[in-house]
Structures are given as C-alpha cells and as structure tokens.
C-alpha cells in the first residue's frame, strides 16, 4: 500500500514547493520514495506472471524524477507534487506501449497504452486499427474492461480524418486519436488499502489485451 506519510509529504510539497523546503525535508522525501519503489517492486513481481518482460526491471528505473524540467515552463516550481512510474519493457524511457501509475493526493490513477507516439508509431497503430477494427473494438467492449476503464481517453483528437483515411472509414473516431490511453482513478483511501497491490495487478492484467494490440501494431 501507499503510506499515509507519503501522501502527507506530497501535500506539503505542493504547498511548499521550493528547494529550501525540500532540502529541509529530504529525509521525508527519501522515506516516501522508498515506499513508492517498494510498491512498484510488488507490481513488477506480480505482473511478471502475465508480462514476463517486466520481471527484470528495477523499480528505481521505472520511477520518474521528482524534479521538474522548468527550462521552458511558465511555472518555475522546481518539484512535481506526485510520484509517477512507467512500467515498460525497457523502463521509463521506452517509447512503446506500457503501464503507468500516478500517485498524487486526490489525483492518483492507473493508466496504460501509449501517450503521444511519434509519427511512425502513430501511423502503425492507425494502420492496425484500420486493418483489425473488429478486434480492437472487441477489446474495448469487453465487459470487465469497460467496467474498469470505461473506454479510450477522448482528449487531444484531430478534427478531421488523418492523412490517408476517408471520412467514411468506420474506424474514423479511433483514428483521430493522437494517443491511445485508458485509465481509471485511484482514491486516497484505495491507495492506503491493503488490497491496493492485488487490485492494481488484476487491473493491469485486464488492460493487457489493449497493450498487446498496440505492441503488435508497432512491431
């Protein structure tokens, strides 16, 4: 589970987002980070049953740095107020489909798929959906999948058909997507539950046919 102290640290960090405060509370940060890494280790071990490629990953290589890149940002706050981890076969820098866990008080979620793929990957995914629309729709229509994730994230879509596709294409609404993501929120209560690890692993297994489809598309 995620400790109450971890959420408390993130809440305080959001209110006191400065290098001075962070250094004064570095010990609390290290404890919170270790808590999150321990949870990720549990995910990697548990999911290796159906995603063996994740088995040899190290939790620390899945966890994103808490430091923000502020070079081109209007918000100059030096730190993120969350812990985020990408569980992909090659670690957090893998551009392909995978799983993502976001831990932030009141805004936590589990997600999977591929976020903002580059042009060649996006083209390959659109081709696969166009080729096997029935298979893609069957994944999204699965009763358990729909119950947990609802459907594809609807944000950031093209207004018109992508190049090479006709307006009458039955897969058009899927093809307009710039990323292919499914997710569901995790409440603070759920984060601190003893069933968190077991439930998250089960939800990732339910998501697997979706990520498998995307992997197949770009191979």
Of 152, 140, 150, 153, whose CA–CA distance to 209 is shortest? Answer: 140
Structure tokens at 106: 């009141």
Task: Provide the whole-model pTM.
Answer: 0.92
Look at residue 7 in the predicted model and tell me its pLDDT. Answer: 98
CA distance 170 to 136: 12
CATH number, domain containing residue 36? 3.30.930
Q: What is the pLDDT of residues 88-142, one digit of tens each?
A: 877 777 778 999 999 999 999 999 999 989 999 999 999 999 999 999 999 999 9
Contacts 24+ apart (CB under 8 A), 71-80: 77/17, 78/17, 78/18, 78/19, 78/22, 79/13, 79/17, 79/22
Strand 98-103 relative to strand 83-87, pairing: antiparallel
Domain hosting residue 23, numbered range: 4-218
Asked whether the predicted pLDDT for residue 23 surpasses 80, the reply is: yes
Look at residue 74 in the predicted model and tell me its pLDDT. Answer: 79
Of residues 42 and 95, the one with the higher pLDDT is 42
Whole-number percent of the chain with pLDDT over 70: 100
Give the Cβ contact number of residue 31 at 10 Å. Answer: 13
CA distance 53 to 135: 24
Asked whether the predicted pLDDT for residue 36 surpasses 90, the reply is: yes
Q: Are 104 and 149 within 8 A, CB to CB?
A: no
Number of structural domains found in the chain? 1
Asked whether the predicted pLDDT for residue 184 surpasses 80, the reply is: yes
């Amino acid at each position: 589970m995620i400790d109450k102290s971890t959420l408390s640290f993130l809440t305080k960090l959001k209110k006191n987002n400065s290098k001075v405060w962070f250094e004064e509370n570095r010990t609390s940060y290290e404890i919170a980070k270790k808590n999150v890494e321990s949870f990720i280790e549990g995910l990697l071990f548990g999911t290796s049953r159906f995603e063996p490629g994740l088995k040899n990953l190290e939790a620390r290589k899945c966890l994103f740095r808490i430091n923000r890149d502020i070079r081109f940002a209007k918000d100059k706050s030096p730190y993120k107020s969350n812990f985020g981890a990408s569980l992909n076969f090659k670690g957090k820098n893998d551009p392909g489909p995978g799983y993502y866990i976001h831990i932030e008080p009141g805004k936590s979620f589990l997600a999977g798929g591929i976020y903002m793929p580059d042009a060649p990957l996006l083209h390959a995914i659109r081709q696969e959906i166009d080729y096997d629309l029935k298979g893609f729709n069957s994944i999204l229509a699965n009763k358990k999948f729909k119950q947990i994730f609802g459907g594809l994230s609807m944000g950031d879509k093209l207004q018109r058909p992508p190049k090479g596709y006709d307006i009458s294409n039955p897969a058009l609404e899927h093809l307009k997507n710039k990323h292919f993501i499914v997710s569901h929120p995790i409440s603070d209560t759920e984060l601190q539950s003893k069933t968190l690890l077991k439930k998250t692993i089960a939800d990732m297994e339910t998501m697997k046919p979706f990520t498998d489809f995307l992997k197949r598309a770009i191979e």
